[in-house]
Amino acid sequence: MKEDAIEFLVPAEDHNQRVDKIVTSYLKEYSRVIIKDWIEAGNILVDNHTVKPKTKVLEGQQIIVHPVLKERTEVNPQKMNLQIVFEDNDLIIVDKPHGLVVHPGHGHHESTLQNGLLYHHPELKILPRAGLVHRLDKDTSGLLIVAKNSNSYNALNTALQSRLIKREYRAICIGEMTSGGTIDVNLSRDPNNRIKYKVSNFGKSSVTHYRVLKKFQGHTLIGLRLETGRTHQIRIHMSHIRHAILGDPLYGQRLMIPKGASENLKKILRSFKRQALHACQLTFQHPSTAELTSFSSKLPEDMESIIKELSGNELDADTINNLKYPEIKT
């Protein structure tokens, strides 16, 4: 039994790459062996033509995937207290708390966001990753888009690949930053650590824009906007410019305790064991109405508490959450 087709265009960074590698990267819940079988069975087409697994495709070509339902990894629905920001017939906007894994993987087969989504809306079982259009790391909090039907899934994935979904983040970084900027580097998997990625002369392009929102002694609150969405992108980028995200267990740097810090601030900083990163805003065209829609999420309490302490309690929650990403005039 075949599911609804999944369609997407080959992005610039995958130009002249093998079709089996591209589809495997795009549909992470299916193994490369399964993808190869689909290609050989004619269930994956490029510009409506059958291809071989090793066929190299070009930027802008259309890939159509007809997933076979029996091959899908079984994910069980689980009742979960999801924070639904918005829902209609086409999509769901979820505010993910830190500590929640987005979809099942090695060591995380249950109690993921995907399990909760399948309980909330069982019809999502026909879509890849239960309709999740993108993902966040386990210990990153914030907004995620979930498509509720194949038309929305295809439209939103195309928008994501075309960089038409604006994703904005907030992060607390170590060090006192003087200005914003843009980080444009290639990223590849670290051969010495399979769970890490690194800046490389090869790999895939990655672009992050960042702006200083508030400076404190020894730390900076920044706003970030993504052009690409590589694994661990923001975390690697900030570490690359020597302003790692506070608490990052993988790409972090030595903890910095500000001179004259209160005992409470010292305690909070030392006990913060996850990256201080939050996906605070999503802006995109609605897949059915084409209306420009925007959703926002306040910072989680643990990040708010650190910012309040760093400011000497001069900033309250409303002030912190109302800090705007500065537009650069050209």
The model's confidence at residue 328, banded by pLDDT at 50, 70 and 90, is low
Residues 173 and 234 in one domain: yes
Residues 106 and 203 in one domain: no
- pLDDT of residue 41 exceeding 80, the answer is yes
Residues 53 and 189 in one domain: no
* Distance, C-alpha 78 to centroid of its chain: 23
Mean pLDDT of 90-109: 90
Nearest-CA neighbor of 221 among 112, 139, 315? 315
What's 98's domain CATH number?
Answer: 3.30.2350.10
Please give the Cα distance from 116 to 232 (Å, whole number): 24
Residues 198 and 212 in one domain: yes
The DSSP result for 122-165, as a single string, is GGGGGSGGGGB-S---TT-EEEEEEESSHHHHHHHHHHHHTT-S
Three-state DSSP state, 23: helix
Residues 264 and 294 in one domain: yes
- 214 has which bridge partners? 221
Domain boundary residue among 50, 71, 92? Answer: 71
329 found inside a domain: no
Residues 181 and 255 in one domain: yes
**Domain encompassing residue 267:** 166-321
Residues 268 and 216 in one domain: yes
The model's confidence at residue 1, banded by pLDDT at 50, 70 and 90, is very low
- pLDDT of residue 50 exceeding 70, the answer is yes
Quote the mean pLDDT of the chain: 91
pTM score over 0.85: no
Each residue of 116-129: pLDDT tens digit? Answer: 999 999 999 989 88
Number of domains in the chain: 3
Residues 290 and 189 in one domain: yes
77 found inside a domain: no
Domain boundary residue among 134, 161, 188? Answer: 161
Active site annotation includes 137: yes
CA atoms within 13 A of residue 194's CA, in its CB half-sphere: 1
Nearest-CA neighbor of 214 among 156, 159, 172? 172
Residues 225 and 301 in one domain: yes
Residues 180 and 274 in one domain: yes
Please give the Cα distance from 219 to 95 (Å, whole number): 26
* CA pseudo-torsion sign 260, 262, 263, 269: negative
Residues 305 and 208 in one domain: yes
Residues 207 and 310 in one domain: yes
**Residues 246, 235: contact at Cβ < 8 Å?**
no
Of the residues 20, 137, 139, 248, only one is catalytic, namely: 137
Domain boundary residue among 113, 138, 161? Answer: 161
What's 61's domain CATH number?
Answer: 3.10.290.10
94 found inside a domain: yes
